Structure 1
Amino acid sequence: MAKIGLFDLEKHFAFYGAHHNNPVNIFIHMLFVWPILFTFLVLLYFTPPLVNISLPSSLIPNYGFLFTVIYAGFYVCLDVKASSLAGLLCVICWVSGSFVAHQLRFSLAWKVVLVAQLFCWTGQFIGHGVFEVILSSTYFALLDNLLEAFLMGPFFVLLEALQLAFGYEPYPGFHAGVKAKVDTDIKEWKDENKKKKNM
Protein backbone atom coordinates (compact mmCIF):
# COMPACT_ATOMS: atom_id res chain seq x y z
CA MET A 1 0.00 0.00 0.00
CA ALA A 2 1.37 3.41 -1.02
CA LYS A 3 2.10 6.00 1.67
CA ILE A 4 2.10 9.77 1.43
CA GLY A 5 4.20 12.69 2.59
CA LEU A 6 7.52 11.97 4.27
CA PHE A 7 6.87 8.23 3.99
CA ASP A 8 5.96 8.27 0.28
CA LEU A 9 8.45 5.60 -0.79
CA GLU A 10 7.44 5.76 -4.45
CA LYS A 11 8.17 9.50 -4.60
CA HIS A 12 11.51 9.10 -2.79
CA PHE A 13 12.59 6.18 -4.98
CA ALA A 14 11.60 8.06 -8.15
CA PHE A 15 13.86 10.93 -7.05
CA TYR A 16 16.68 8.45 -6.58
CA GLY A 17 15.92 6.65 -9.85
CA ALA A 18 15.97 9.85 -11.87
CA HIS A 19 19.52 10.53 -10.67
CA HIS A 20 20.66 6.90 -10.92
CA ASN A 21 19.50 5.64 -14.29
CA ASN A 22 22.63 3.96 -15.62
CA PRO A 23 23.23 0.30 -14.59
CA VAL A 24 26.97 0.85 -14.02
CA ASN A 25 26.31 3.89 -11.84
CA ILE A 26 23.66 1.94 -9.90
CA PHE A 27 26.14 -0.92 -9.35
CA ILE A 28 28.82 1.52 -8.17
CA HIS A 29 26.40 2.96 -5.62
CA MET A 30 25.49 -0.55 -4.44
CA LEU A 31 29.18 -1.12 -3.73
CA PHE A 32 29.93 2.17 -1.99
CA VAL A 33 26.87 3.54 -0.18
CA TRP A 34 26.82 1.11 2.74
CA PRO A 35 30.61 1.35 3.33
CA ILE A 36 30.16 5.14 3.56
CA LEU A 37 27.53 4.64 6.26
CA PHE A 38 29.65 2.04 8.06
CA THR A 39 32.82 4.15 8.17
CA PHE A 40 30.82 7.20 9.26
CA LEU A 41 29.52 5.17 12.21
CA VAL A 42 33.09 4.13 12.99
CA LEU A 43 34.01 7.81 13.31
CA LEU A 44 30.92 8.60 15.39
CA TYR A 45 32.05 5.98 17.92
CA PHE A 46 34.41 8.59 19.31
CA THR A 47 31.63 11.06 20.16
CA PRO A 48 30.67 11.37 23.86
CA PRO A 49 27.82 9.31 25.38
CA LEU A 50 24.41 10.97 25.23
CA VAL A 51 23.03 9.09 28.24
CA ASN A 52 24.68 7.32 31.14
CA ILE A 53 23.60 3.72 30.57
CA SER A 54 25.67 0.56 30.39
CA LEU A 55 25.72 -1.39 27.13
CA PRO A 56 27.57 -4.65 26.44
CA SER A 57 31.12 -4.75 25.10
CA SER A 58 32.34 -1.67 23.20
CA LEU A 59 28.88 -0.24 22.52
CA ILE A 60 28.28 3.37 23.60
CA PRO A 61 24.93 5.26 23.45
CA ASN A 62 26.51 8.18 21.57
CA TYR A 63 25.78 10.05 18.32
CA GLY A 64 26.49 6.88 16.34
CA PHE A 65 23.73 5.16 18.29
CA LEU A 66 21.35 8.10 17.80
CA PHE A 67 22.16 8.22 14.08
CA THR A 68 21.43 4.47 13.82
CA VAL A 69 18.12 4.75 15.67
CA ILE A 70 16.96 7.59 13.39
CA TYR A 71 17.93 5.74 10.21
CA ALA A 72 16.56 2.35 11.29
CA GLY A 73 13.37 3.86 12.69
CA PHE A 74 12.67 5.87 9.56
CA TYR A 75 13.33 2.91 7.28
CA VAL A 76 10.97 0.64 9.20
CA CYS A 77 8.17 3.18 8.62
CA LEU A 78 8.63 2.97 4.82
CA ASP A 79 8.08 -0.71 4.06
CA VAL A 80 7.78 -3.60 6.50
CA LYS A 81 9.99 -6.21 4.77
CA ALA A 82 12.80 -4.36 2.97
CA SER A 83 12.87 -1.54 5.50
CA SER A 84 13.10 -3.94 8.42
CA LEU A 85 16.11 -5.51 6.68
CA ALA A 86 17.60 -2.03 6.12
CA GLY A 87 17.04 -1.17 9.78
CA LEU A 88 18.70 -4.42 10.86
CA LEU A 89 21.68 -3.69 8.58
CA CYS A 90 22.00 -0.23 10.18
CA VAL A 91 22.15 -1.82 13.63
CA ILE A 92 24.72 -4.36 12.40
CA CYS A 93 26.81 -1.51 10.95
CA TRP A 94 26.68 0.34 14.28
CA VAL A 95 27.61 -2.71 16.36
CA SER A 96 30.41 -3.86 14.03
CA GLY A 97 31.57 -0.27 13.48
CA SER A 98 31.81 0.23 17.23
CA PHE A 99 33.88 -2.93 17.55
CA VAL A 100 36.23 -1.87 14.74
CA ALA A 101 36.60 1.65 16.19
CA HIS A 102 37.30 0.26 19.66
CA GLN A 103 40.05 -1.97 18.25
CA LEU A 104 41.65 0.69 16.03
CA ARG A 105 41.47 3.60 18.49
CA PHE A 106 40.99 7.15 17.25
CA SER A 107 44.58 7.73 16.12
CA LEU A 108 44.25 5.04 13.43
CA ALA A 109 40.47 4.95 12.95
CA TRP A 110 40.15 8.46 11.54
CA LYS A 111 42.82 7.72 8.93
CA VAL A 112 41.09 4.51 7.85
CA VAL A 113 37.75 6.33 7.68
CA LEU A 114 39.24 9.19 5.66
CA VAL A 115 40.76 6.84 3.07
CA ALA A 116 37.57 4.76 2.83
CA GLN A 117 35.33 7.83 2.50
CA LEU A 118 37.52 9.41 -0.19
CA PHE A 119 37.65 6.15 -2.13
CA CYS A 120 33.88 5.54 -1.93
CA TRP A 121 32.89 9.13 -2.73
CA THR A 122 35.33 9.24 -5.65
CA GLY A 123 33.77 6.06 -7.02
CA GLN A 124 30.29 7.53 -6.79
CA PHE A 125 31.25 10.78 -8.49
CA ILE A 126 32.93 8.78 -11.26
CA GLY A 127 29.71 6.78 -11.56
CA HIS A 128 27.77 9.96 -12.17
CA GLY A 129 30.36 11.81 -14.21
CA VAL A 130 31.28 8.97 -16.56
CA PHE A 131 28.29 6.67 -16.75
CA GLU A 132 25.15 8.60 -15.87
CA VAL A 133 23.53 9.54 -19.18
CA ILE A 134 21.30 12.26 -17.74
CA LEU A 135 24.17 14.10 -16.09
CA SER A 136 23.92 16.98 -18.55
CA SER A 137 20.30 17.63 -17.68
CA THR A 138 20.26 17.19 -13.93
CA TYR A 139 22.36 17.52 -10.79
CA PHE A 140 23.86 14.89 -8.54
CA ALA A 141 21.24 13.70 -6.07
CA LEU A 142 23.56 14.86 -3.30
CA LEU A 143 23.43 18.44 -4.58
CA ASP A 144 19.77 18.36 -5.55
CA ASN A 145 18.47 17.23 -2.15
CA LEU A 146 21.11 16.81 0.53
CA LEU A 147 18.87 15.34 3.24
CA GLU A 148 17.20 12.83 0.93
CA ALA A 149 20.50 11.74 -0.62
CA PHE A 150 22.07 11.00 2.77
CA LEU A 151 19.03 9.63 4.59
CA MET A 152 17.58 7.51 1.79
CA GLY A 153 20.72 6.38 -0.05
CA PRO A 154 21.41 3.18 1.95
CA PHE A 155 17.78 2.07 1.71
CA PHE A 156 17.57 2.86 -2.01
CA VAL A 157 20.55 0.70 -2.95
CA LEU A 158 19.22 -2.16 -0.81
CA LEU A 159 15.80 -1.90 -2.44
CA GLU A 160 17.46 -1.77 -5.87
CA ALA A 161 19.45 -4.92 -5.05
CA LEU A 162 16.36 -6.77 -3.81
CA GLN A 163 14.46 -5.78 -6.93
CA LEU A 164 17.25 -6.93 -9.26
CA ALA A 165 17.88 -10.19 -7.40
CA PHE A 166 14.34 -11.23 -6.48
CA GLY A 167 11.96 -8.89 -8.32
CA TYR A 168 10.91 -7.49 -4.94
CA GLU A 169 8.25 -4.77 -4.78
CA PRO A 170 7.04 -3.07 -1.59
CA TYR A 171 3.54 -3.34 -3.06
CA PRO A 172 2.09 -4.32 -6.48
CA GLY A 173 2.68 -1.67 -9.13
CA PHE A 174 5.45 0.06 -7.17
CA HIS A 175 8.15 -0.20 -9.85
CA ALA A 176 5.73 0.70 -12.66
CA GLY A 177 4.76 3.84 -10.75
CA VAL A 178 8.40 4.71 -10.06
CA LYS A 179 9.38 4.21 -13.71
CA ALA A 180 6.56 6.50 -14.89
CA LYS A 181 7.67 9.23 -12.47
CA VAL A 182 11.36 8.80 -13.44
CA ASP A 183 10.57 9.01 -17.16
CA THR A 184 8.49 12.15 -16.59
CA ASP A 185 11.23 13.80 -14.47
CA ILE A 186 13.96 13.02 -17.01
CA LYS A 187 11.84 14.34 -19.88
CA GLU A 188 11.14 17.56 -17.97
CA TRP A 189 14.86 18.05 -17.18
CA LYS A 190 15.84 17.41 -20.80
CA ASP A 191 13.18 19.80 -22.10
CA GLU A 192 14.32 22.46 -19.62
CA ASN A 193 17.93 21.92 -20.67
CA LYS A 194 17.01 22.35 -24.34
CA LYS A 195 15.21 25.60 -23.59
CA LYS A 196 18.26 26.94 -21.75
CA LYS A 197 20.52 26.04 -24.69
CA ASN A 198 18.19 27.75 -27.16
CA MET A 199 17.97 30.98 -25.17
Structure 2
Amino acid sequence: MAKPSGGGGLLDLEGHFAFYGAYHSNPVNIGIHELFVWPIFLTAQLLLHIAAPSVHAAGIVAAVYGAYYFLLDRRAGALAALLCFLCWAASGALAARLGFSLGWKKRAPALLDNLVQAFLMAPFFVLLEILHTFGGYEPYPGFHDKVSKLIEEARKEWEDKKSKKLS
Protein backbone atom coordinates (compact mmCIF):
# COMPACT_ATOMS: atom_id res chain seq x y z
CA MET A 1 0.00 0.00 0.00
CA ALA A 2 1.34 3.38 -0.90
CA LYS A 3 1.38 5.74 2.01
CA PRO A 4 -0.55 8.96 1.57
CA SER A 5 1.64 11.99 1.27
CA GLY A 6 -0.69 14.51 2.89
CA GLY A 7 0.78 16.82 0.29
CA GLY A 8 -2.42 18.13 -1.30
CA GLY A 9 -1.83 21.47 0.31
CA LEU A 10 -1.83 23.04 3.72
CA LEU A 11 -5.64 23.07 3.90
CA ASP A 12 -6.22 19.61 2.38
CA LEU A 13 -8.13 18.05 5.28
CA GLU A 14 -8.69 14.75 3.47
CA GLY A 15 -5.02 14.43 2.57
CA HIS A 16 -3.95 15.16 6.15
CA PHE A 17 -6.44 12.66 7.57
CA ALA A 18 -5.36 10.00 5.09
CA PHE A 19 -1.73 10.57 6.05
CA TYR A 20 -2.53 10.48 9.78
CA GLY A 21 -4.78 7.43 9.38
CA ALA A 22 -2.10 5.50 7.51
CA TYR A 23 0.17 5.79 10.53
CA HIS A 24 -2.48 5.49 13.24
CA SER A 25 -4.75 2.57 12.43
CA ASN A 26 -4.08 0.32 15.43
CA PRO A 27 -7.00 0.64 17.91
CA VAL A 28 -4.65 0.76 20.91
CA ASN A 29 -2.55 3.47 19.25
CA ILE A 30 -5.70 5.42 18.41
CA GLY A 31 -6.90 5.15 22.01
CA ILE A 32 -3.56 6.34 23.35
CA HIS A 33 -3.66 9.32 21.04
CA GLU A 34 -7.25 10.13 21.99
CA LEU A 35 -6.32 10.15 25.67
CA PHE A 36 -2.95 11.86 25.59
CA VAL A 37 -2.53 14.21 22.64
CA TRP A 38 -4.45 17.11 24.23
CA PRO A 39 -2.70 16.73 27.60
CA ILE A 40 0.61 16.80 25.72
CA PHE A 41 -0.53 20.00 23.98
CA LEU A 42 -1.41 21.45 27.39
CA THR A 43 2.03 20.49 28.72
CA ALA A 44 3.73 22.08 25.71
CA GLN A 45 1.72 25.23 26.37
CA LEU A 46 2.85 25.18 30.01
CA LEU A 47 6.48 24.91 28.97
CA LEU A 48 6.06 27.82 26.56
CA HIS A 49 4.46 29.94 29.28
CA ILE A 50 7.39 29.22 31.57
CA ALA A 51 10.20 29.42 29.02
CA ALA A 52 9.08 32.44 27.00
CA PRO A 53 6.49 34.46 28.91
CA SER A 54 7.57 37.85 27.55
CA VAL A 55 7.11 36.88 23.90
CA HIS A 56 3.72 35.29 24.57
CA ALA A 57 4.82 32.16 22.70
CA ALA A 58 2.09 30.00 24.23
CA GLY A 59 -0.63 32.39 23.09
CA ILE A 60 0.83 32.66 19.62
CA VAL A 61 1.06 28.89 19.25
CA ALA A 62 -2.48 28.38 20.58
CA ALA A 63 -3.82 31.06 18.22
CA VAL A 64 -2.02 29.64 15.19
CA TYR A 65 -3.18 26.10 15.96
CA GLY A 66 -6.75 27.26 16.59
CA ALA A 67 -6.90 29.36 13.44
CA TYR A 68 -5.43 26.56 11.35
CA TYR A 69 -7.93 24.03 12.68
CA PHE A 70 -10.76 26.50 12.02
CA LEU A 71 -9.58 26.93 8.43
CA LEU A 72 -9.53 23.17 7.95
CA ASP A 73 -13.12 22.74 9.14
CA ARG A 74 -15.28 25.46 10.68
CA ARG A 75 -17.38 23.32 13.03
CA ALA A 76 -14.76 20.91 14.40
CA GLY A 77 -12.15 23.63 14.01
CA ALA A 78 -14.15 25.96 16.27
CA LEU A 79 -14.18 23.26 18.97
CA ALA A 80 -10.47 22.61 18.46
CA ALA A 81 -9.78 26.35 18.67
CA LEU A 82 -11.76 26.46 21.93
CA LEU A 83 -9.67 23.56 23.26
CA CYS A 84 -6.48 25.37 22.23
CA PHE A 85 -7.68 28.46 24.07
CA LEU A 86 -8.59 26.42 27.16
CA CYS A 87 -5.16 24.74 27.13
CA TRP A 88 -3.54 28.16 26.82
CA ALA A 89 -5.59 29.59 29.69
CA ALA A 90 -5.12 26.57 31.97
CA SER A 91 -1.40 26.37 31.29
CA GLY A 92 -1.05 30.09 31.93
CA ALA A 93 -2.80 29.77 35.28
CA LEU A 94 -0.67 26.76 36.17
CA ALA A 95 2.54 28.50 35.10
CA ALA A 96 1.64 31.52 37.24
CA ARG A 97 0.99 29.26 40.21
CA LEU A 98 4.12 27.13 39.79
CA GLY A 99 6.52 29.83 38.74
CA PHE A 100 9.70 29.18 36.81
CA SER A 101 11.60 27.27 39.49
CA LEU A 102 8.91 24.66 40.12
CA GLY A 103 7.56 24.54 36.58
CA TRP A 104 10.89 24.00 34.91
CA LYS A 105 12.43 21.52 37.36
CA LYS A 106 11.72 18.15 35.81
CA ARG A 107 13.27 14.80 36.47
CA ALA A 108 13.93 12.24 33.80
CA PRO A 109 11.13 9.67 33.75
CA ALA A 110 11.58 6.64 36.02
CA LEU A 111 11.50 4.64 32.81
CA LEU A 112 15.04 5.77 32.06
CA ASP A 113 16.36 4.67 35.46
CA ASN A 114 14.63 1.34 35.96
CA LEU A 115 12.54 -0.36 33.27
CA VAL A 116 11.14 -3.04 35.57
CA GLN A 117 10.14 -0.51 38.21
CA ALA A 118 8.55 1.76 35.62
CA PHE A 119 6.55 -0.92 33.84
CA LEU A 120 5.78 -3.28 36.72
CA MET A 121 5.11 -0.92 39.60
CA ALA A 122 3.73 2.19 37.88
CA PRO A 123 0.22 0.80 37.36
CA PHE A 124 0.02 -0.45 40.95
CA PHE A 125 1.48 2.79 42.31
CA VAL A 126 -1.16 4.81 40.47
CA LEU A 127 -3.90 2.51 41.79
CA LEU A 128 -2.69 2.87 45.37
CA GLU A 129 -2.53 6.65 45.01
CA ILE A 130 -6.11 6.75 43.70
CA LEU A 131 -7.35 4.42 46.47
CA HIS A 132 -5.63 6.53 49.11
CA THR A 133 -6.79 9.86 47.68
CA PHE A 134 -10.43 8.88 47.24
CA GLY A 135 -10.88 6.30 49.99
CA GLY A 136 -8.06 6.72 52.48
CA TYR A 137 -6.90 3.17 51.73
CA GLU A 138 -3.53 2.00 53.04
CA PRO A 139 -2.10 -1.52 52.72
CA TYR A 140 -1.28 -1.25 56.42
CA PRO A 141 -1.62 1.53 59.01
CA GLY A 142 1.00 4.24 58.52
CA PHE A 143 1.91 3.07 55.00
CA HIS A 144 1.24 6.44 53.36
CA ASP A 145 3.22 8.42 55.96
CA LYS A 146 6.17 6.02 55.73
CA VAL A 147 6.21 6.06 51.94
CA SER A 148 5.82 9.85 51.88
CA LYS A 149 8.96 10.17 54.03
CA LEU A 150 10.87 7.78 51.75
CA ILE A 151 9.74 9.74 48.70
CA GLU A 152 10.85 13.01 50.27
CA GLU A 153 14.26 11.51 51.12
CA ALA A 154 14.68 10.25 47.57
CA ARG A 155 13.71 13.66 46.15
CA LYS A 156 16.17 15.40 48.46
CA GLU A 157 18.92 13.00 47.40
CA TRP A 158 18.11 13.70 43.74
CA GLU A 159 18.12 17.47 44.36
CA ASP A 160 21.48 17.22 46.17
CA LYS A 161 23.00 15.27 43.27
CA LYS A 162 21.59 17.77 40.81
CA SER A 163 22.93 20.79 42.72
CA LYS A 164 26.39 19.19 42.96
CA LYS A 165 26.41 18.68 39.17
CA LEU A 166 25.46 22.32 38.60
CA SER A 167 28.15 23.69 40.92
SS in structure 2 at match of 1:5? coil
Q: CA deviation at 1:49?
A: 2.2
Matches of residues 148-187 of structure 1 in structure 2 within 5 Å? none
SS in structure 1 at match of 2:54? coil
Q: CA deviation at 1:114?
A: 7.0
Matched, 1:63 2:57: yes
Q: CA deviation at 1:108?
A: 1.4
- Superposition CA RMSD, Å: 1.9
Matched, 1:25 2:29: yes
SS in structure 2 at match of 1:15? helix
Distance of 1:80 and 1:17 partners within structure 2 = 21
Q: CA deviation at 1:30?
A: 0.8
The code of the aligned residue for 1:87 comes to A
Structure 2 partner of 1:191: none
Distance of 1:73 and 1:79 partners within structure 2 = 10
Q: CA deviation at 1:112?
A: 5.7
The code of the aligned residue for 1:29 comes to H
Q: CA deviation at 1:28?
A: 0.5
Q: CA deviation at 1:106?
A: 1.4
Match of 2:102 among 78, 102, 108: 108
The code of the aligned residue for 2:10 comes to L
SS in structure 2 at match of 1:100? helix
SS in structure 1 at match of 2:91? helix
Distance of 2:19 and 2:64 partners within structure 1 = 21
Distance of 1:39 and 1:18 partners within structure 2 = 26
CA deviations 1:69-90 (Å, max 9, x no partner) are: 1101101000011111001100
Higher relative contact order (CA 8 A, sep 6+): 1
Q: Is the 8 A contact 1:40 1:113 kept in 2?
A: no
Which protein has the larger Cα radius of gyration, Structure 1 or Structure 2?
2
Distance of 2:100 and 2:61 partners within structure 1 = 19
Structure 1 partner of 2:44: 40
Structure 1 partner of 2:151: none
Distance of 1:109 and 1:34 partners within structure 2 = 19
SS in structure 2 at match of 1:21? coil
The code of the aligned residue for 1:63 comes to A
Matches of residues 1-12 of structure 1 in structure 2 within 5 Å? 5-12=9-16
Q: Kindly tell me: are residues 77 and 113 of structure 1, through their superposed partners in 2, closer, same or farther at Cα, counting changes over 3 Å? A: farther
Structure 1: runs of 5 or more not aligned: 51-61, 119-199
